[in-house]
Amino acid sequence: MTPTNYDESKVPAYTLPPLLIAEDGSKITTAFEWVQKRRPQILNTLKKELFGELPPRPETFTKEVVSVKEDALNNTAIRKEIKLTFTNNGKSHSFLMLLYIPKNVSGPVPVYLGLNFKGNHVTTLETDVIPTGRNTAGELVEPDAAGEQDRRWIFADTIKRGYASATACYHDIYPDDKEADSWRKSVYNLFFSEETDEQFHTHGTAISGWAWGLSRMLDALENEPLVDTKKAMVHGHSRLGKTSLWAGANDPRFRFVVSNDSGCNGAAIHRRVFGETIEVMVHYFPHWFVTSLNKYVCKEPELPFDQHWLVALSAPRPVCIASASEDLWADPKGEFLSGYHASEVYRLFGAQGMPTDTMPEADQYVTGEVSYHLRTGKHDQVLFDWIHYFDIADKFIR
């Protein structure tokens, strides 16, 4: 494996693949041309070369409210657990979504949706939440970690700010296991079970499976009287930040897209070759990407895309890119730059995008249609990050 570069002076000179020149060489000068012509090209390239195709819609989709707690979080919230079941080709797949909705609000409220790493029970200090998150053998991955990642979810603060919040465990949609056949325990198995593992990984990936799951969670919220699904916001940390960007790219119902420390193949610009690289990623996490990505190992200048394309797919909807100062693996500067470069698409819509061309000091919130902050500290998603997400939602979504 090539040694990791953490030295800014060793970042090579590079030219980014253009956002606003179409494949036929013509210039994109209007929002209309972007939407009609260029955006589909970019989405298609990222499907072919990076994340593959989301699963299709299933023949049937049902939801069942498994529990309701009317006095959750010290009587400030209503808590629900909702089971989503999909059937196709005579097979079915289910997962459990946890939902908190503020009480005593006058009408439906905007909702944050995000996947969790270790199970619904790990996201909350409430001890009566059903444990979820199973590996390919069907065992709970974290049976004893209840409440351990409450800091990443801070449901009580979200409720105080007047937002609903929904989560499900990503393993229950596609178990995060690099074995080539782990997709057979995922939602994709409903649709492609006849394929070989090799065929599957030319078009199906865990990240697309997870992004699909986020869209289905949003479907399941459609009839919740206190949730405004026209004001849905998707967030994700790290691999799940790569996923939230991809979910935002594929599902325009996500009106605000949050990338928290998403790094390589998330918001970070590949051509900087700083921190994690494609070489590392396809070795340790081959199931997150289509096999086509292997062609670009140690060949960043040959990539037909770079990650500002991924960010631009959400334009003109607000995006927030968050980094952490000690998270050099995720390349904070590269994350900032993708937001900065994606802003030219926002300008086609008469928006500004990122309101600065200079990376801000640590702990400063830069807020625009493309927002950014660099939190002092480690790779994580904590209250400081959330406050920015709440402020942006107050400004652009509410």
Q: Which of 182, 186, 215, 238 is catalytic?
A: 238
Q: Please indicate whether residue 379 is annotated as part of the active site.
A: yes
**HSE-up of residue 143 (Cα within 13 Å, Cβ side):** 4
- Show contacts with ligand GCU in window 216-245 (CB under 6 A): 238-239
* Token reading at 21: 């020149």
Are 282 and 310 within 8 A, CB to CB?
no
What secondary structure does DSSP assign to 76-130, as a single string?
TEEEEEEEEEEEETTEEEEEEEEEEEESS-SS-EEEEEEEESS-GGGS-S-TTSP
* Token reading at 293: 């990505």
Nearest-10 crossing angle of helices 239-250, 206-221: 60
* One character per residue 267-296, x = contact with ligand GCU (rule: CB under 6 A): ---------x--------------------
Least Cβ distance, residue 276 to ligand GCU (angstroms)? 5
Nearer to ligand GCU, 283 or 398 (CB): 283
Least Cβ distance, residue 105 to ligand GCU (angstroms)? 33
Least Cβ distance, residue 167 to ligand GCU (angstroms)? 16
Determine if 169 is a binding residue for ligand GCU (CB under 6 A): no
- Which are the contacts of 138, defined by CB distance < 8 A and separation ≥ 6? none
Nearer to ligand GCU, 72 or 290 (CB): 290
Nearer to ligand GCU, 133 or 263 (CB): 263
Least Cβ distance, residue 337 to ligand GCU (angstroms)? 17
Least Cβ distance, residue 142 to ligand GCU (angstroms)? 15
- Asked whether the bond before 40 is cis by omega within 30 degrees of 0, the reply is no
Q: What is the rounded CA–CA span in Å between residue 4 and residue 350?
A: 39
Residue 312 sits at φ, ψ, to 5 deg, of: -65, -25
Nearer to ligand GCU, 330 or 392 (CB): 330
Count of beta carbons in the 10 Å neighbourhood of residue 274: 25
Q: Which of 67, 94, 292, 379 is catalytic?
A: 379
Determine if 264 is a binding residue for ligand GCU (CB under 6 A): yes
DSSP code of 35?
I
Least Cβ distance, residue 265 to ligand GCU (angstroms)? 7
- Show contacts with ligand GCU in window 113-152 (CB under 6 A): none
Nearer to ligand GCU, 238 or 338 (CB): 238
> Site for ligand GCU (CB under 6 A): how many residues?
5
Are 93 and 190 within 8 A, CB to CB?
yes
Q: What is the rounded CA–CA span in Å between residue 47 and residue 286?
A: 15
Nearer to ligand GCU, 264 or 273 (CB): 264
User: In the set 58, 114, 133, 263, which binds ligand GCU (CB under 6 A)?
Assistant: 263
Least Cβ distance, residue 122 to ligand GCU (angstroms)? 14
3-state secondary structure (DSSP) of residue 385: helix
Q: Please indicate whether residue 186 is annotated as part of the active site.
A: no
Nearer to ligand GCU, 264 or 321 (CB): 264
Determine if 300 is a binding residue for ligand GCU (CB under 6 A): no
What secondary structure does DSSP assign to 259-326, as a single string?
EES--TTTTS-GGG--SS-HHHHHHH-GGGS-GGGGGGTT-GGG-S--HHHHHHTTTTS-EEEEEETT
Are 285 and 347 within 8 A, CB to CB?
no
Task: Indicate which residues carry an active-site annotation.
Answer: 238, 379
Residues that bind ligand GCU (CB under 6 A): 238-239, 263-264, 276
